Every structure is written in structure tokens, then in C-alpha cells.
Amino acid sequence: MLLKVKHSTKYSYSETQRMILQSHRLYPSRCDTQKVLSWDVFAEGALFGEYFEDGAGDRLRTMSINNDVDGLEISVVGEVETNDKNGVIKLQRDLMPRQVYLYSTSLTKADQSLRELALESIQDIGSSSLDKAHAMMNSISDRIDYISGSTNSSFTAAQALQQGKGVCQDQAHCLISISRCNNIPARYVTGYLYDAEKGDNHGESHAWAELYIDGLGWIGFDSANRCCPDDRYIRIGSGLDGLDAALIRGVTRGAGQESMLTNVEVSQAQQ
């Protein structure tokens, strides 16, 4: 599938900022499920560094503005050709030992309820890690309803499970948490999703999990849509949790409050 992406992130500041420094994870992964045909990230008055790849194979670069600024818009425009590999992902460069993804973070730490769900979800499944992964994905889909705006970025997996509702970030965190409880390495993935039912020019940034299955490697599981990522998905980057895999992280120098507004359009282009 040929997908076009337009992604805008607008920052507004109640008082003038004297400096902005950000790290961007805004370039699609180099992997066998997608081919980048064109991709550009720009912001007026900003100075961008060169792209570099981290140990997980994600492409990052820095952006800085050293002048007084009252607002900032970061725009992403690109075109990607995607392929359906049944969720299996093979990155061109991924040097991170998979055991790293058994580490628990503050957002994915398992409480008693998550530990119980981890065991409950794989009861009577057998020894197949792939079958366990599908069962855990479905278990999270059953226990956490997708309700837009029901949580925020600071919500933990335990909090989301307790209230029984959340967004894709929360479902990914919960799946990662119970996977690690079952000794299956899991990581958080950010990207874009094209929704054919809602039509062109509608899209969203999205989050899902990837689990490491012996003999197959990393496989994506999206509890929000109860499926493995296919050619509707564009993969951007990964991390231990949503904070670690954030598309944009940064600091500013100045007083006042910051507000942010994002808009994403994903459309299917002619082959």
C-alpha cells in the first residue's frame, strides 16, 4: 500500500521562550515492511542536526532554535510504501539485546492485578509463545476498552487496567507489562495508522507492542485493533515504554506555560 502522511505539531507558549532544544524520532524505521519514498521534517527558523541511529535502529536527530519564540510548528510530510508481513518485523539495524525488553519501567510495572492477568491470559494455551502472545493481546482488548481522552500520557499500565479503559498507549503498556511477567520480551512502538473505513485524509499517530518470539523474531501486536500490524501501519520507532519511544522530546528556556496541538492525516495514494 502507498500511504501519504501529513503530521503537524504546534506548540504555543504563554510567554516568550529564549531557546528550544528537541530530540525528534520522526523518521520511519528502515525495515522490510516499508520503503520510504519521500520524507521531510521542517520547522521555520529551526536548525536541524544530522540523522543518527540508536542501538534499536531508530533514526533520530536534534532540532534547536536559539532565538526568542512565542510558538513553533513542526511539520512532517512523507510517502511510504508498506507491505503486510503478518506483523513480523525485521529491522536493518537492531543491536539491542532482547533481554533489555524484560526490564520494567514506571509506566509498565506490574501490580498484583497485572500479574494475575498475565497468568490468566495464557491458561490452557500450551507451550507456543506465539499462541501466548495472541492470547495476551486479546486479553488486553477484552479488559481495556478504547475510549479516546480517558487517560493521559502519565497513566500507568496498572491504572489503565484498574479503570478498564484507555487509549492505544495504555493498551500497549498493559500488553508489554503482562508479556514481561510471562518472560516474553516486549517493546513499545510508535507510528501511524491508516483507517480505510474513515477514508482518506483521516489518520492518527498510533501505538502498539512488539513481542519477541523465539524462532520468528519481533512481531507486532495491536490490542487496540485486535490484530498484528499490516500494510495500514507505518512504523516509526520503539522503546521500553511510551516515554522512551516518544516522537518528540525536548526542553525550553523561559517561563510560562506550554500547550500543544497535533494533527495527523494519512491517505492512500495511487500506486
Mind listing the pLDDT tens digit for each residue in 9-32? 999 999 999 999 999 999 999 999
* 36 DSSP β-pair partners: 80
Residue 269's pLDDT is 84
How many angstroms separate the CA atoms of 127 and 104, rounded? 24
Of all helices (H) and strands (E), which one includes residue 169? helix 168-181
Grid cell locating 133:
502472545
Residue 153's pLDDT is 87
Q: How confident is the model at residue 149 (pLDDT cuts 50, 70, 90)?
A: confident
Percent share of the chain, pLDDT over 90: 89
- Please enumerate in sequence order all residues whose Cβ is within 8 A of that of 213, keeping only pairs 6 or more positions apart, or say none: 129, 130, 133, 184, 219
Q: Is residue 241 predicted with pLDDT exceeding 80? A: yes
Residue 61's pLDDT is 96
Q: What is the dihedral of CA 64, 77, 30, 234, to 10 degrees?
A: 120
> Alpha carbon 268 to chain centroid distance?
21
What's the pLDDT tens digit per position in 154-209?
999 999 999 999 999 999 999 999 999 999 999 999 999 998 776 555 566 899 99
Please state, rounded to an integer, the average pLDDT across all residues of the chain.
94
How many angstroms separate the CA atoms of 123 and 126, rounded? 8
Percent share of the chain, pLDDT over 70: 97
Residue 40's pLDDT is 96
Residue 199's pLDDT is 59
Q: Is residue 251 predicted with pLDDT exceeding 70? A: yes
Of all helices (H) and strands (E), which one includes residue 236? strand 233-239
Q: Is residue 109 predicted with pLDDT exceeding 80? A: yes
CB-based contact 255:182 (threshold 8 Å):
no
Tell me the mean pLDDT in the region 204-229: 95
Q: How many residues does the chain have?
A: 271
> Alpha carbon 246 to chain centroid distance?
7
Q: Is 59 helix (H, G, I), strand (E, B) or coil?
A: strand
Checking phi first, is residue 117 left (phi over 0); if not, alpha (psi -120 to 50) or beta?
alpha
Q: What are the structural domains, with CATH classification, of the chain? A: 2-82+248-268 (2.60.40.2250), 88-239 (3.10.620.30)
Tell me the mean pLDDT in the region 51-80: 94
Q: Is residue 36 predicted with pLDDT exceeding 90? A: yes
